[in-house]
Amino acid sequence: MNNWQKRFAQKVETVRKTSRERFELFADEAATPVFEEFREFTAQQGLHATAPMAKPGIRIFKFAVSENAYVLMTFRLAGLEHCEVRCEFFVPAREKLPASDLLVELGDAGVDWTRGIFESALDQFMDAFLESFSKRSGLCADLVDA
């Protein structure tokens, strides 16, 4: 590499490092503390919350009602300036729900935004259970009437 290429490569690495540091700051100051708030509350409701992955550029949070019924929230560094959130829902006796994906600039990803993500994902998770139960109840009622 010539001198210009070396300097340029150093600049690129500095940009990437700064981006990773910004994500880690978000994870440490927003995502993890909000998860801890929700872990305490959801434990009172019978859910088991874990953080199965915490490595540079990615955090995963899981809230489970049972082994096969849970919501998985993945916060990931996307590109250099964005946080991508993917929420996946697993509800028994129901077709797989589509995952929800959201992309936000790291500067906009704070505590309030993160709290909104957790609230929305947990609401969708419980709504899916309620819908699944109501469909099964209707099916059972139809069978009894037959």
Q: What does pTM read for this prediction?
A: 0.85
For position 143, what pLDDT does the model report?
Answer: 38
Domains of the chain, by residue range, sit at 3-145
Task: Please measure the distance between the N-terminal and C-terminal CA atoms of the chain and give it in whole angstroms.
Answer: 79
Q: What is the pLDDT of residue 145?
A: 46
Summarised one tens digit per residue, pLDDT across range 1-48 is 899 999 999 999 999 999 999 999 999 999 999 999 999 999 999 999
| pLDDT number for residue 99 | 85
* Main-chain dihedrals φ then ψ at residue 89, nearest 5 degrees: -120, 130
Residue with the two structure tokens 């964005």: 82
Q: What is the pLDDT of residues 39-91, one digit of tens each?
A: 999 999 999 999 998 999 999 999 999 988 999 999 999 999 999 999 999 98
Main-chain phi, psi angles of 13, to 5 degrees: -65, -35
CB 102 within 8 A of CB 117: yes
